[in-house]
Chains A and B, each alone.
Chain A
C-alpha cells in the first residue's frame, strides 16, 4: 500500500511550488499534445489517399493557394502540392490557437487560480518570497510546454510512420516548436493578465480577448488588403511566419522570445508590487447603493451574465464584420469546376461571396457554441463556489434556477447569431457583395442549432457529472472543429464525420440551411437540456 507521506516526499525543498505547478502542466501538456499529434498525423496520412494524382494536387493548390478568404480564415496555403504544405494549411493555425488557449489556461490556473482559492496564501506563508514562488510556478508551466512539444512530435511521428514516409523528423520537430512558440507566448501573456486582473476568470477573459484580437489582426493581414505588414503585430502572425513545415524561418521566432521574456519580466516585477489576491487594475470597490433590488435567481443570473454576454456579442459582431469585409474580394477568386469541387468539400457548393461566407460559418458556429457552453460552465461555477447553496436553501426549485440559466444561454446564442448575420450583411454589402439581409439573417440563424446541441449536451453533463461540465462542453466543440478541419479537406470515415456536431450544419449562405438536420439538432439540444435539468433535480449539490 502506498501512503501519502511517501508521495509527498516529491514536494519537499525549494522546488515545491514548481513541482506542484509542473504536475498539472505536464499532465495537460501531454494530453493536449497527443491530441494535436493525432490531428497532425492523421492529416498527413490522408493526403496521399485523397489527392492521389498530380492533377488533383494542382486543383487543390489552385483552390486554396492564392485564395484570400481561406488564407484569411485558415492561414496561408503554400506548397499544397506537398504533404508538408497540405498539413501546414490544415493544422498550423488551428494548433496555434489551441496551443495559445492551453498556454493561457495553464498559467492563469497556476498563478491567479491558486490565489483565488487561497492555496497561494498557504504556500507564501512558508519560507519563500512571492517573486521566487511565481518564478517556480512558471518553471512548472515551462515543463508543461516541453511536454506539450514532445507529445506533439512523438505522436505525429508515430502516426505518420504507419503510412508511407511523408513528413521528415525535422519538419515535425519544427511543427512542434511552432505550437510551443504559440503556447509559450500566450502563457507569458497569461502570466501578465494574472497580475492585472482580479480573478482567474477575468485573467482568462482578458487573455481570450487579446487572442481574439490577435486572430482578427492576422485575418486582416492575410486578407489581401495590402496590410500584410500587420502580421508582425500579432503573435499568431509571428508563429505563421515561422512556417516550420514549408519554408522555415527561425528568425521569426525572435519576437516570440522577446515578447515572452518581456511579459514574464514585467509580471515578475508586478508580483512584487501588488497584494496577493488583488490585481494591478483597481476594481470599482466603492460603496454602492442598489440600483434595482435583486428580486430572485433570474435577476441574479441576468446580473451575473450580462457583461460576459455583451462582450461575446461584440466579439461576434467584429468577427462577422471582418468576414463580411473580405467576402466580396475573396469570392472573386473562386471559380472553375475543379476548384469548385475542392471547395465543395468544405460545404461551399455555391460560388463567389456566398461560398466564402459559407466556409466562414464553421468558424462563427464555433464561436457561438463557445458562448452557449460557457454559460453552462458558468452555472457550474456557481455551484462549485457554493453560491448555489444559498439559493437552493430558499424556496426556489432547482429546476427553475437551471431552466432560467439555460434560457439565458439560449438568448445569448440566438442574439449572437442574429447580430452576426446583421453585421456581416452591413459590411459585406458595403464592399459590393450582392447578398440580401434575409439570406444572411438566415445564415446567422443557421448557427443556432449546433450551438444549442452543444449547449444542451453541456447541460446534460452538468446534470449527470457536474465536475465534467466544462470538459465535456468545450471538448465536444474542439473535437467537432478538429473533425471538420481534418475531414473538410481530407478524408474521414463517415461515422467519424458523424461525431462532429458541425457536420450536420449547412454552410449557409453557400447552401440552404438543412431544415430537418437543424430541427433534429435543436431537438437534441432541448432534450439534452431537459434531461440535464431532470438529472440535476435528482443529484447532490457538489462543491469544487
Chain B
C-alpha cells in the first residue's frame, strides 16, 4: 500500500513535519482557545444569572422606552413605585415578593482605590439588602440603617475588610462614610462587586425614595406563566411583568451577544494566523515534494497512478493536520485556562464538543487544502524524471502568475474600497475578503518583486562579506517562488500590525487636533464608573481659589422624534457648553432657552428638522416633551449630536447625576491642578483633567487598542517565523551537496553560517517591507474611510516601522540559527557523496 510510503515519509521527515505542525498547532490553539474561553465565560455568566435569579417566577419592571435598543444594545426603563409591592404580594400564588434597588456603589479599599475597578468593565453594584442566594450573611449581620453596609465575600477577601471595619463608599450621592456590618456569600461575581444597603438608604442614595428598580416574586407552586398573567392584571400603565425564565434569559442573552462579538473578533484574528499557517504548510509540502521528485517519479515509473501519488502526499498532510489539531486543542485549552486565570476567575473550563470538532475541522482542512497543490504537482512529475539527473518540477510560467496576481490584488483593493464605502451587506466581511485577495495577489506577484528587492537588500552584504554575501544573495534569488512564499507569510502579519499602527497614530493625531480645536474649558472633573460628580463634590470644586465658573453636564437618554430606540443626549447650560466645546454653529443660535435643543448637522438631517422646527422627546418616566430646535452645529466630538438645557434632564431623571463638571479657571496652571485634585481627593472615582490630561487619556486608550490588536497578531508573526526556519532548514538539506562542495573548497563553518544567516535576513526583511507597504496602504484606506467619523488626519508612524524592520532582521537571524548550525555540522565527504 502507498499508505506505508506515507507513514515512512512522515517518520523520515520528522523535524520538518514538526515545524509544519507548529504552524497548525498555533493556529488551532488560537481557534480552540477562543472557543473554549468564550464558552467558559458564557457558562460562568449563565451560572451567575441563574444564581441571581434563582427561584424568581415573576419580575415586575418599568416598560422600556421605545421598541428598539440604543447603540449600546440597551433599553431605558423607569423605576416602579414602591406601593406596587403590596399589590403584587397580594396576588394569589405569589410568595416572597421583594422590591429591589440596583445602582452604582463602589467600595473604596484600604489603598484608597475603588475595589474591582481594574478596567475589565465589571460593574460596581449597589443593592438594597434582601434575603436571597447572593446575600446570605456569612459573618456579621445585615445592614439595617443608614451608614451600614454588607459586602461580598470575594471583596472582603481581596480588601481584608471584616465586619466592624469602617470604610467609604462612592455613590451617585457622593462619598458615604460607612461601617461594614456583614459579609455576604456572593461568591464569584465575574469581577463585579456588591455593596448592600438597607432598602431606605439604597433608595435615597441610588434611586429615589418610594421607588424600586424592580420587584421580583416567587411562586407558591403556580406555573410561572400563569402567575405572570395574574400579576400583570394588577399592574398600572408603564409597568410590565415577565417570567423568571424570561428575565434570566435576557441577562444571559445580553452577555452572550457581547461574548459573540468578542468571539468573532478573536476568531477573525485566529483566521489570520491560520491563513499564515496555510502558507507555511504549502511551502513545506512544496519543498518536500521537490526534494522527493526522483522518489515520486520512481513510484510513478513502477506503476503508481497519479491519484496514488497525490493521496500519498495528502496522507502526510492529513496526519500532520490531525496531530497538529490535537496538540493545538490541548494548547488552546491551556490558553483559555491562562486567560481565565488572568482575569481572576477560577472554576475550571467548559469544554463542549463544538470547539473540538471545529478545531479539528479547521486544522485538518487547512493542512490538507494547503498541501493539495503541492500534492497535485507531485502527481504531475513525469516518471522519466526518475532517470534524469537534472530533475525539475514542471513550473508554470511566471507570466500567468503575474497576471493573476495583479488581477487579484486589484480585485482585493476594489473590494476593500467597496466595503469601506459602506455599500453592501456586511462591510467587515467585504473588507476582510478584499484584504485576503490583496494578500494572495501580492503573494503571487512577490516572486517578481523579490528579484530586484532582494538584489538591493543583499547588496550591502556583498560589500560586507564578499563572496559569502554574494552566495547568500544568489541563494535568496535562486528560487524566487520559495523566497516569495516564505516572505509572504511574514508579510501578512506585519501588514496587519502596520495597518493597526497607522490607524492608531492617525487616531492620536486626529483626536489631538480635535482636542486642541474643541476643548475650550480649562478643566473638567468627571466621574468614572457611573457615580458622577455629587453636589458635595461640585461645591468643593467651586470653592477652589481661581475657579470662576463651573458648568454641570448631564448625560440622559430619551426617545427623540420617531426613532425606535433611545438616544443619549447631553444636557446643561447650552450656551456655556457651546463655548466650552467651541461649537461651530451652522444656523440658528446657541442660546437655546428653556425648551430649546441644539442638534448637529447629521442628527438634524436624520430627524428631518431645521431651526425653528420641533423635536419631541419621550422619557423613561412616560412623559413626552416637545423641544424647539434653536440651532444646528457642525459635528462635535465632545458633545455628540443632541444638546438640551439642564432643565429638560432634571425634570425627568429619577436620580440626577452630574456626568462632568466643566470648569472655567482663567487658564490651567500646575497649582490650580493640584488644588483641584486635592479638593476631590476623598472620591477616588473622580478625575480632574486639563487639555493635556484628556489627550493623554485618549492616547492611553489608543495605545491599549493598538497593543491589544498587536498581541492578537503576534501569533501570526510567530507562525511566519517558524516558516522562515522551515524554509531555510529545507534549503540547507536540498543544497547538501553544494554545501559539501563549498566546504571542500575551503569555506569555513563561520562563513557558511553567515551565508545562511544573510539569506534569512534578506528574506525576512523582504517580507517585512512587503507587509509594511501593504499595511500603510490598508491603514491609509481605513483612515480615509473614517475621515468623516473624526479620523481626519493620516499619520504614518515612521519610528515604529523602523523598529519593525529591525525586528524582522532579528527574526531572520533567529530563524537561521538552527539551519545554520545544521549546515555547519555536515560532514564534508558525506555531503558531497549524497544522492
User: Do A and B truly interact?
Assistant: no
Which B residues contact A (CB, under 8 angstroms)? none
Residues on A facing B (Cβ under 8 Å): none
